[in-house]
Amino acid sequence: MDKSHYFYRNVTFSRKDNKTSLADIYNPTLTSPLEDWLGTIISLADGQHTVQELLDYLRTHYRGMTPANFENTVESVFDRLIEGKLVLFSEKSVELPYYLAEPIESLDIKKAKKLMHEDGHTQH
């Protein structure tokens, strides 16, 4: 995994009660909760930060006591997200479309559906 690449989400998501879930734009009350690591990366996958920046940010939460397998764990999480096409990589920063930029709770659902349809974006 190239740590200089930017990462961005390719799915709509929900952020409630400090928990991240995948969300269905056509049925916003239908969500699929994500494991903590998966949810953290999905919620931070804004297309404006590199993998290295993510690693540096996450390390700050360990206050100098980062687990020995930390990078392998993060890489494994990325592998799972990439396999499902939930997160993608780019050599340059990416401006997310309206319907992916914020949690579904912050979106105008009608506008999000319209833009998603116009873009030909399908949910995974």
Whole-model pTM? Answer: 0.90
Distance CA 63, CA 3 (A): 21
| Segments making up each domain of the chain, as ranges | 6-119
Instruction: Name the band, by pLDDT with cuts 50, 70 and 90, for residue 5.
Output: very high
18-74: per-residue pLDDT in tens? 899 999 999 988 899 999 999 999 999 999 999 999 999 999 988 878 888 999 999
120: left (phi over 0), alpha (psi -120 to 50) or beta: left
Query: What is the model's pLDDT at position 106?
Result: 96
With 0-12 / 13-18 / 19 or more C-beta atoms within 10 angstroms meaning exposed / middle / buried, residue 122 is exposed
76-111: per-residue pLDDT in tens? 999 999 999 999 999 999 999 999 999 999 999 999
C-alpha distances in angstroms, 91 versus 7, 35, 86, 106? 9, 27, 17, 28
Q: Has residue 124 got a pLDDT over 60?
A: no
Per the listing, tokens 């996450």 go with: 58
